[in-house]
Amino acid sequence: MNVNVVLVGHVDHGKSTMIGRLLYDSESIKDERVEEIQKLAEEYKRRFEFAYFLDSFEDELKEERTIDTVSLMFKSEKNYYTITDVPGHKEFIKNMLTGASHAHVAVLVVSAEEGVQEQTRRHLFLLKMLGIKEVFVAVNKMDAVDYKKERFENVKAEINEVLSSFGYPTGHFIPVSAMEGDNIYRRSERMEWYEGPTLIEALDGVTVEGKEKPLRFVVQDVYEVEGEKIVVGRVESGILRRGDGVIFEPSGIRTKIEGIRVFEGELEEATTGDCVGILIGEEVKRGDVGGTVEKPPKPVEEFLGEAVLLGKNLKKGEQIELRCGTAKVRCEIKEIKEKIDSETGEVVERNPDEINEHDAATIVFATEPLVIEKFAEIPELGRFVLVKNGRNIGAGVVLDANF
Protein backbone atom coordinates (compact mmCIF):
# COMPACT_ATOMS: atom_id res chain seq x y z
CA MET A 1 0.00 0.00 0.00
CA ASN A 2 1.23 3.51 -0.82
CA VAL A 3 0.58 6.14 1.87
CA ASN A 4 1.06 9.86 1.25
CA VAL A 5 2.35 11.65 4.36
CA VAL A 6 2.94 15.36 4.89
CA LEU A 7 5.13 16.71 7.69
CA VAL A 8 4.19 20.12 9.03
CA GLY A 9 5.22 22.29 11.92
CA HIS A 10 6.84 25.50 13.03
CA VAL A 11 10.21 26.43 11.53
CA ASP A 12 13.22 24.74 13.16
CA HIS A 13 11.10 22.18 15.02
CA GLY A 14 12.84 19.42 13.06
CA LYS A 15 10.62 18.34 10.15
CA SER A 16 13.41 17.92 7.62
CA THR A 17 15.66 16.21 10.14
CA MET A 18 12.88 13.74 10.88
CA ILE A 19 12.39 12.84 7.22
CA GLY A 20 16.16 12.51 6.82
CA ARG A 21 16.19 10.10 9.75
CA LEU A 22 13.32 8.07 8.21
CA LEU A 23 15.21 7.84 4.91
CA TYR A 24 18.45 6.90 6.66
CA ASP A 25 16.99 4.29 9.02
CA SER A 26 14.95 2.70 6.22
CA GLU A 27 18.18 2.43 4.18
CA SER A 28 16.68 4.53 1.39
CA ILE A 29 19.83 6.65 0.99
CA LYS A 30 22.95 5.48 -0.79
CA ASP A 31 26.28 5.62 1.07
CA GLU A 32 27.66 8.03 -1.56
CA ARG A 33 24.89 10.53 -0.73
CA VAL A 34 25.75 10.35 2.97
CA GLU A 35 29.41 11.07 2.17
CA GLU A 36 28.42 13.95 -0.12
CA ILE A 37 26.34 15.57 2.64
CA GLN A 38 29.16 15.14 5.15
CA LYS A 39 31.57 16.95 2.81
CA LEU A 40 29.10 19.80 2.19
CA ALA A 41 28.50 20.19 5.92
CA GLU A 42 32.25 20.42 6.52
CA GLU A 43 32.64 22.94 3.67
CA TYR A 44 30.04 25.26 5.18
CA LYS A 45 31.23 24.50 8.72
CA ARG A 46 27.90 23.07 9.77
CA ARG A 47 27.13 20.15 12.02
CA PHE A 48 26.07 17.07 10.04
CA GLU A 49 22.27 17.15 9.82
CA PHE A 50 19.89 14.49 8.53
CA ALA A 51 17.84 17.38 7.16
CA TYR A 52 20.48 17.97 4.49
CA PHE A 53 19.35 14.80 2.71
CA LEU A 54 16.29 16.77 1.66
CA ASP A 55 17.78 20.07 0.63
CA SER A 56 17.53 20.28 -3.14
CA PHE A 57 19.28 23.64 -3.34
CA GLU A 58 22.73 24.60 -2.12
CA ASP A 59 21.26 27.93 -0.97
CA GLU A 60 19.10 26.06 1.53
CA LEU A 61 22.17 24.52 3.12
CA LYS A 62 23.77 27.95 3.45
CA GLU A 63 20.61 29.49 4.92
CA GLU A 64 19.65 26.41 6.94
CA ARG A 65 15.99 26.59 6.02
CA THR A 66 13.66 24.75 3.67
CA ILE A 67 12.30 27.03 0.95
CA ASP A 68 10.24 24.61 -1.13
CA THR A 69 8.28 21.41 -0.80
CA VAL A 70 10.35 18.24 -1.13
CA SER A 71 8.80 14.81 -1.76
CA LEU A 72 10.63 11.51 -1.39
CA MET A 73 9.76 7.84 -1.20
CA PHE A 74 10.83 5.16 1.22
CA LYS A 75 9.62 1.73 2.25
CA SER A 76 8.91 0.23 5.64
CA GLU A 77 8.37 -3.48 6.20
CA LYS A 78 4.68 -2.93 5.48
CA ASN A 79 4.08 0.10 3.23
CA TYR A 80 5.53 2.37 0.59
CA TYR A 81 5.50 6.03 1.65
CA THR A 82 5.56 9.25 -0.31
CA ILE A 83 6.57 11.78 2.28
CA THR A 84 6.53 15.52 1.78
CA ASP A 85 8.45 18.11 3.75
CA VAL A 86 7.00 21.61 3.51
CA PRO A 87 8.31 24.92 4.82
CA GLY A 88 7.33 26.28 8.18
CA HIS A 89 7.83 29.96 7.40
CA LYS A 90 4.82 32.22 7.13
CA GLU A 91 5.82 33.43 3.67
CA PHE A 92 5.90 29.86 2.35
CA ILE A 93 2.37 28.82 3.37
CA LYS A 94 1.32 28.53 -0.30
CA ASN A 95 3.87 25.76 -0.81
CA MET A 96 2.62 24.03 2.32
CA LEU A 97 -0.94 24.16 0.99
CA THR A 98 0.16 22.51 -2.26
CA GLY A 99 2.35 19.94 -0.52
CA ALA A 100 -0.41 18.84 1.83
CA SER A 101 -3.13 18.58 -0.79
CA HIS A 102 -2.52 14.90 -1.67
CA ALA A 103 -1.76 13.63 1.83
CA HIS A 104 -3.66 10.78 3.48
CA VAL A 105 -2.22 11.56 6.89
CA ALA A 106 -0.16 14.32 8.52
CA VAL A 107 2.66 14.31 11.03
CA LEU A 108 2.78 17.48 13.10
CA VAL A 109 6.28 18.08 14.44
CA VAL A 110 6.49 20.11 17.66
CA SER A 111 9.67 20.92 19.56
CA ALA A 112 9.65 19.67 23.15
CA GLU A 113 11.62 22.80 24.05
CA GLU A 114 9.29 25.39 22.48
CA GLY A 115 5.88 23.72 22.40
CA VAL A 116 3.03 25.24 20.35
CA GLN A 117 4.05 28.20 18.19
CA GLU A 118 2.34 30.46 15.63
CA GLN A 119 2.91 28.16 12.64
CA THR A 120 1.85 25.10 14.68
CA ARG A 121 -1.65 26.57 14.90
CA ARG A 122 -1.76 27.83 11.32
CA HIS A 123 -0.64 24.51 9.87
CA LEU A 124 -3.28 22.63 11.85
CA PHE A 125 -5.90 25.03 10.51
CA LEU A 126 -4.74 24.38 6.94
CA LEU A 127 -4.71 20.60 7.48
CA LYS A 128 -8.29 20.81 8.72
CA MET A 129 -9.24 22.96 5.75
CA LEU A 130 -7.71 20.39 3.39
CA GLY A 131 -9.75 17.61 4.94
CA ILE A 132 -6.88 15.59 6.44
CA LYS A 133 -8.57 13.62 9.18
CA GLU A 134 -5.66 11.82 10.86
CA VAL A 135 -2.79 13.68 12.52
CA PHE A 136 0.14 12.14 14.40
CA VAL A 137 2.01 14.49 16.72
CA ALA A 138 5.76 13.89 17.01
CA VAL A 139 7.06 15.76 20.06
CA ASN A 140 10.61 16.20 18.80
CA LYS A 141 13.94 17.16 20.39
CA MET A 142 13.26 15.10 23.51
CA ASP A 143 17.06 14.82 23.85
CA ALA A 144 17.14 18.58 24.49
CA VAL A 145 14.86 18.19 27.53
CA ASP A 146 16.67 15.14 28.93
CA TYR A 147 13.89 12.81 27.76
CA LYS A 148 11.66 13.95 30.62
CA LYS A 149 8.14 12.54 30.67
CA GLU A 150 6.83 15.63 32.47
CA ARG A 151 7.85 17.92 29.61
CA PHE A 152 6.28 15.56 27.05
CA GLU A 153 3.00 15.53 28.99
CA ASN A 154 2.98 19.34 29.22
CA VAL A 155 3.46 19.74 25.46
CA LYS A 156 0.88 17.02 24.81
CA ALA A 157 -1.74 18.86 26.90
CA GLU A 158 -0.95 22.12 25.10
CA ILE A 159 -1.33 20.54 21.65
CA ASN A 160 -4.48 18.63 22.59
CA GLU A 161 -6.12 21.95 23.42
CA VAL A 162 -5.30 23.27 19.93
CA LEU A 163 -6.42 20.03 18.24
CA SER A 164 -9.78 20.09 20.00
CA SER A 165 -10.31 23.73 18.96
CA PHE A 166 -10.11 22.55 15.31
CA GLY A 167 -12.45 19.64 15.94
CA TYR A 168 -9.78 16.94 15.89
CA PRO A 169 -10.11 14.02 18.30
CA THR A 170 -7.37 13.43 20.88
CA GLY A 171 -4.18 13.07 18.88
CA HIS A 172 -1.64 10.26 18.65
CA PHE A 173 1.44 11.56 20.49
CA ILE A 174 4.94 10.12 20.11
CA PRO A 175 7.99 11.47 22.01
CA VAL A 176 10.95 11.41 19.60
CA SER A 177 14.43 12.67 18.88
CA ALA A 178 14.96 12.82 15.13
CA MET A 179 18.63 13.70 15.57
CA GLU A 180 19.34 10.73 17.86
CA GLY A 181 16.80 8.35 16.28
CA ASP A 182 14.68 7.77 19.40
CA ASN A 183 11.21 6.35 18.63
CA ILE A 184 11.47 7.03 14.89
CA TYR A 185 12.37 3.58 13.56
CA ARG A 186 13.75 2.05 16.73
CA ARG A 187 12.26 2.11 20.20
CA SER A 188 14.04 4.43 22.61
CA GLU A 189 15.81 2.94 25.59
CA ARG A 190 15.95 6.42 27.11
CA MET A 191 12.16 6.78 27.33
CA GLU A 192 11.05 3.52 28.90
CA TRP A 193 8.10 5.40 30.38
CA TYR A 194 6.57 5.60 26.86
CA GLU A 195 4.66 2.45 25.90
CA GLY A 196 3.12 3.54 22.58
CA PRO A 197 4.26 2.89 19.00
CA THR A 198 7.31 4.34 17.27
CA LEU A 199 6.59 6.80 14.45
CA ILE A 200 7.01 4.16 11.74
CA GLU A 201 4.80 1.72 13.66
CA ALA A 202 2.11 4.40 13.91
CA LEU A 203 2.33 5.14 10.16
CA ASP A 204 2.23 1.44 9.31
CA GLY A 205 -1.13 1.31 11.10
CA VAL A 206 -2.72 3.81 8.69
CA THR A 207 -5.38 2.46 6.33
CA VAL A 208 -6.13 4.22 3.03
CA GLU A 209 -9.69 3.98 1.76
CA GLY A 210 -9.89 3.42 -1.96
CA LYS A 211 -12.65 5.25 -3.82
CA GLU A 212 -13.34 5.12 -7.53
CA LYS A 213 -13.48 8.61 -9.01
CA PRO A 214 -14.87 9.80 -12.34
CA LEU A 215 -12.51 10.61 -15.20
CA ARG A 216 -11.09 14.12 -15.17
CA PHE A 217 -8.52 14.87 -17.90
CA VAL A 218 -7.03 18.37 -17.68
CA VAL A 219 -5.88 19.86 -20.99
CA GLN A 220 -2.43 21.44 -20.84
CA ASP A 221 -1.86 22.24 -24.51
CA VAL A 222 -2.50 21.20 -28.12
CA TYR A 223 0.39 20.31 -30.45
CA GLU A 224 0.56 19.46 -34.13
CA VAL A 225 2.81 16.49 -34.84
CA GLU A 226 3.18 15.21 -38.41
CA GLY A 227 -0.16 16.70 -39.37
CA GLU A 228 -2.00 15.30 -36.34
CA LYS A 229 -3.34 17.49 -33.55
CA ILE A 230 -2.46 15.93 -30.20
CA VAL A 231 -4.12 17.15 -27.02
CA VAL A 232 -1.63 16.89 -24.17
CA GLY A 233 -2.79 16.72 -20.58
CA ARG A 234 -2.89 14.86 -17.30
CA VAL A 235 -5.37 12.34 -15.95
CA GLU A 236 -6.19 13.87 -12.57
CA SER A 237 -8.69 11.18 -11.59
CA GLY A 238 -10.31 8.06 -12.98
CA ILE A 239 -9.31 6.09 -16.09
CA LEU A 240 -9.04 7.35 -19.68
CA ARG A 241 -9.75 4.60 -22.23
CA ARG A 242 -9.38 4.49 -25.98
CA GLY A 243 -12.83 4.48 -27.57
CA ASP A 244 -14.51 6.31 -24.67
CA GLY A 245 -17.11 8.93 -25.45
CA VAL A 246 -16.04 12.13 -23.68
CA ILE A 247 -17.10 15.73 -23.22
CA PHE A 248 -14.79 18.68 -22.63
CA GLU A 249 -15.98 21.60 -20.54
CA PRO A 250 -16.39 24.53 -20.48
CA SER A 251 -15.97 24.27 -24.29
CA GLY A 252 -18.92 21.84 -24.47
CA ILE A 253 -17.23 19.61 -27.08
CA ARG A 254 -18.42 15.99 -27.30
CA THR A 255 -16.07 13.57 -29.01
CA LYS A 256 -14.39 10.16 -28.83
CA ILE A 257 -10.91 9.12 -27.71
CA GLU A 258 -9.38 7.87 -30.96
CA GLY A 259 -5.92 7.22 -29.53
CA ILE A 260 -3.71 7.65 -26.46
CA ARG A 261 -0.05 8.48 -27.09
CA VAL A 262 3.09 8.46 -24.96
CA PHE A 263 6.74 8.66 -26.03
CA GLU A 264 6.98 4.88 -26.01
CA GLY A 265 4.00 4.44 -28.34
CA GLU A 266 0.25 3.81 -28.04
CA LEU A 267 -1.80 2.97 -24.93
CA GLU A 268 -5.23 1.44 -24.56
CA GLU A 269 -5.82 3.31 -21.29
CA ALA A 270 -4.22 5.87 -18.97
CA THR A 271 -4.75 6.08 -15.23
CA THR A 272 -4.62 8.74 -12.51
CA GLY A 273 -1.38 10.71 -12.61
CA ASP A 274 -0.50 9.81 -16.20
CA CYS A 275 0.53 12.60 -18.58
CA VAL A 276 -0.46 11.61 -22.12
CA GLY A 277 -1.38 12.91 -25.53
CA ILE A 278 -4.80 12.05 -26.96
CA LEU A 279 -6.29 12.12 -30.45
CA ILE A 280 -9.88 13.35 -30.52
CA GLY A 281 -10.35 15.08 -33.86
CA GLU A 282 -11.83 18.19 -32.24
CA GLU A 283 -10.56 21.60 -31.12
CA VAL A 284 -10.23 21.98 -27.36
CA LYS A 285 -8.14 24.47 -25.41
CA ARG A 286 -5.86 24.72 -22.40
CA GLY A 287 -7.95 24.76 -19.23
CA ASP A 288 -10.66 22.46 -20.60
CA VAL A 289 -11.44 19.37 -18.52
CA GLY A 290 -12.56 16.12 -20.11
CA GLY A 291 -14.78 13.46 -18.58
CA THR A 292 -16.97 10.61 -19.74
CA VAL A 293 -20.40 11.38 -21.14
CA GLU A 294 -21.91 9.29 -18.32
CA LYS A 295 -20.14 11.30 -15.57
CA PRO A 296 -19.23 14.61 -17.20
CA PRO A 297 -17.44 17.57 -15.65
CA LYS A 298 -19.81 20.44 -14.91
CA PRO A 299 -18.72 24.04 -15.46
CA VAL A 300 -19.84 26.60 -12.90
CA GLU A 301 -19.97 30.37 -12.76
CA GLU A 302 -20.21 30.59 -8.99
CA PHE A 303 -18.86 28.52 -6.11
CA LEU A 304 -18.13 28.62 -2.39
CA GLY A 305 -14.50 28.35 -1.38
CA GLU A 306 -12.31 28.71 1.67
CA ALA A 307 -9.10 30.65 1.09
CA VAL A 308 -6.07 31.87 2.98
CA LEU A 309 -4.78 35.28 1.93
CA LEU A 310 -0.99 35.20 1.62
CA GLY A 311 -0.46 38.85 0.77
CA LYS A 312 -2.18 42.19 0.09
CA ASN A 313 -5.89 42.54 0.87
CA LEU A 314 -9.11 41.49 -0.81
CA LYS A 315 -12.38 43.44 -0.95
CA LYS A 316 -15.94 42.45 -1.67
CA GLY A 317 -16.73 43.23 -5.32
CA GLU A 318 -13.06 43.20 -6.35
CA GLN A 319 -12.05 41.66 -9.70
CA ILE A 320 -9.01 39.32 -9.69
CA GLU A 321 -7.72 36.24 -11.51
CA LEU A 322 -8.42 32.70 -10.32
CA ARG A 323 -6.42 29.65 -11.41
CA CYS A 324 -7.55 26.04 -11.06
CA GLY A 325 -5.82 23.18 -12.85
CA THR A 326 -4.54 24.79 -16.06
CA ALA A 327 -7.47 27.23 -16.30
CA LYS A 328 -7.14 30.97 -15.70
CA VAL A 329 -10.38 32.96 -15.42
CA ARG A 330 -11.57 36.38 -14.31
CA CYS A 331 -13.25 36.27 -10.96
CA GLU A 332 -15.27 38.59 -8.71
CA ILE A 333 -15.36 38.43 -4.93
CA LYS A 334 -19.14 38.28 -4.78
CA GLU A 335 -19.50 37.78 -1.04
CA ILE A 336 -17.20 37.29 1.94
CA LYS A 337 -19.28 35.14 4.25
CA GLU A 338 -16.90 34.69 7.19
CA LYS A 339 -13.46 35.94 8.17
CA ILE A 340 -11.53 33.24 10.02
CA ASP A 341 -8.50 33.44 12.28
CA SER A 342 -5.99 31.19 10.48
CA GLU A 343 -4.24 30.38 13.76
CA THR A 344 -7.28 29.29 15.75
CA GLY A 345 -9.89 28.50 13.08
CA GLU A 346 -12.42 30.71 14.86
CA VAL A 347 -14.87 32.88 12.94
CA VAL A 348 -13.92 36.44 13.88
CA GLU A 349 -16.35 38.37 11.65
CA ARG A 350 -19.36 37.65 9.48
CA ASN A 351 -20.00 39.36 6.14
CA PRO A 352 -16.93 41.64 6.27
CA ASP A 353 -16.21 43.99 3.37
CA GLU A 354 -12.56 42.92 3.13
CA ILE A 355 -9.89 40.57 4.44
CA ASN A 356 -6.16 41.16 4.90
CA GLU A 357 -2.87 39.30 4.72
CA HIS A 358 -2.89 35.94 6.61
CA ASP A 359 -6.67 36.07 7.11
CA ALA A 360 -8.72 33.09 6.05
CA ALA A 361 -12.28 33.38 4.78
CA THR A 362 -15.19 31.56 3.21
CA ILE A 363 -15.96 33.39 -0.03
CA VAL A 364 -18.53 33.19 -2.80
CA PHE A 365 -16.63 33.52 -6.09
CA ALA A 366 -18.35 34.55 -9.33
CA THR A 367 -16.26 33.45 -12.32
CA GLU A 368 -16.20 32.92 -16.03
CA PRO A 369 -17.28 29.33 -16.85
CA LEU A 370 -14.86 27.05 -15.03
CA VAL A 371 -14.65 23.34 -14.17
CA ILE A 372 -14.00 22.84 -10.48
CA GLU A 373 -14.82 20.03 -8.05
CA LYS A 374 -15.38 19.83 -4.32
CA PHE A 375 -12.02 19.34 -2.68
CA ALA A 376 -13.47 16.55 -0.53
CA GLU A 377 -14.39 14.60 -3.70
CA ILE A 378 -11.69 15.33 -6.30
CA PRO A 379 -8.93 17.36 -4.60
CA GLU A 380 -6.93 17.60 -7.84
CA LEU A 381 -9.56 20.04 -9.17
CA GLY A 382 -10.66 21.31 -5.78
CA ARG A 383 -7.89 23.76 -5.01
CA PHE A 384 -7.21 27.15 -6.54
CA VAL A 385 -4.84 30.11 -6.47
CA LEU A 386 -5.85 33.79 -6.38
CA VAL A 387 -3.79 36.23 -8.46
CA LYS A 388 -3.73 40.01 -8.19
CA ASN A 389 -1.58 42.24 -10.42
CA GLY A 390 0.37 39.20 -11.56
CA ARG A 391 1.18 38.01 -8.02
CA ASN A 392 -0.18 35.00 -6.16
CA ILE A 393 -1.96 36.46 -3.15
CA GLY A 394 -4.03 33.54 -1.90
CA ALA A 395 -4.77 29.84 -2.12
CA GLY A 396 -7.80 27.84 -1.19
CA VAL A 397 -10.11 24.88 -1.64
CA VAL A 398 -13.57 24.42 -3.11
CA LEU A 399 -16.22 23.72 -0.48
CA ASP A 400 -19.30 23.58 -2.69
CA ALA A 401 -20.13 24.08 -6.34
CA ASN A 402 -23.90 23.71 -5.98
CA PHE A 403 -25.07 25.77 -3.04
Long-range contact set of residues 200-204: C-beta below 8 Å, sequence gap at least 24 = 200/22, 200/25, 200/26, 200/76, 202/136, 202/172, 202/174, 203/3, 203/5, 203/76, 203/79, 203/81, 203/105, 203/107, 203/136, 204/76, 204/77, 204/78, 204/79
Q: How confident is the model at residue 165 (pLDDT cuts 50, 70, 90)?
A: confident
Residue 209 is predicted with a pLDDT of 64
Q: What is the mean pLDDT of residues 379-392?
A: 86
Same topology, domains 2-204 and 299-400? Answer is no
| Of 38-47, 316-325, 352-361, minimum mean pLDDT range | 38-47
Residue 1 has pLDDT above 70, yes or no: no
Residue 264 is predicted with a pLDDT of 78
Residue 98 has pLDDT above 60, yes or no: no
pTM: 0.67
Q: Cβ(331)–Cβ(365) under 8 Å? A: yes
Question: Which of the pair, 312 or 143, is modelled with greater confidence?
Answer: 143
Residue 43 has pLDDT above 90, yes or no: no
Percent of the chain scoring above 90 in pLDDT: 42
**pLDDT (tens digit per residue) in 287-303:** 999 999 999 999 999 99
Question: Which of the pair, 133 or 142, is modelled with greater confidence?
Answer: 142
Q: How confident is the model at residue 380 (pLDDT cuts 50, 70, 90)?
A: confident
Domain ranges of the chain: 2-204, 216-292, 299-400
- How many Cα atoms within 13 Å fall on the side-chain side of residue 196? 18
Q: What is the mean pLDDT of residues 147-153?
A: 97
The H helix count followed by the E strand count for the chain is 7, 25
Residue 113 has pLDDT above 90, yes or no: yes
Q: What is the mean pLDDT of residues 50-74?
A: 42
Q: What is the CATH topology of the domain spanning 216-292?
A: Elongation Factor Tu (Ef-tu); domain 3 (2.40.30)
**pLDDT (tens digit per residue) in 70-92:** 455 666 777 777 777 655 445 44
Closest CA to 182 of 169, 194, 167: 194
Q: What is the mean pLDDT of residues 26-31?
A: 59
Q: Which CATH superfamily is domain 2-204 in?
A: P-loop containing nucleotide triphosphate hydrolases (3.40.50.300)
Long-range contact set of residues 193-197: C-beta below 8 Å, sequence gap at least 24 = 193/149, 194/149, 194/152, 196/172
Q: How confident is the model at residue 59 (pLDDT cuts 50, 70, 90)?
A: very low
Pairing of strands 327-341, 319-324: antiparallel
Pairing of strands 105-111, 135-140: parallel
Q: Cβ(356)–Cβ(313) under 8 Å? A: yes
Query: Per the omega criterion (within 30 degrees of 0), is the bond before 297 cis?
Result: no
Q: What is the mean pLDDT of residues 351-366?
A: 92
**Residues contacting 389, CB < 8 A, separation 6+:** none
Q: What distance in Å separates the CA atoms of residue 116 and residue 331, rounded to the nearest whole number?
A: 37
Give me the helices (H) in 84-235, please. Answer: 93-100, 118-129, 149-165, 199-204
Residue 58 has pLDDT above 70, yes or no: no
**pLDDT (tens digit per residue) in 196-227:** 999 999 999 988 765 689 999 999 999 887 77
Give me the helices (H) in 166-304, please. Answer: 199-204
E strand map for 44-104: 70-75, 80-85
How crowded is residue 44: how many other Cβ atoms within 10 Å of its Cβ? 12
Burial annotation 116-147 (CB, 10 A radius, 16+ → b, else e):
bbebbbbbbbbbbbbbbebbbbbbbbbbebeb
Q: What distance in Å separates the CA atoms of residue 199 and residue 187, rounded to the nearest whole number?
A: 9
Percent of the chain scoring above 70 in pLDDT: 81
Q: Taking all residues of the chain, what is their mean pLDDT, rounded to a whole number?
A: 81
Residue 312 is predicted with a pLDDT of 79
- What's the Cα-to-Cα distance from 134 to each of 41, 80, 94, 119, 310, rounded to whole Å? 36, 18, 21, 19, 26
What are 222's strand-pairing partners?
A: 231
CATH class of 299-400: mainly beta
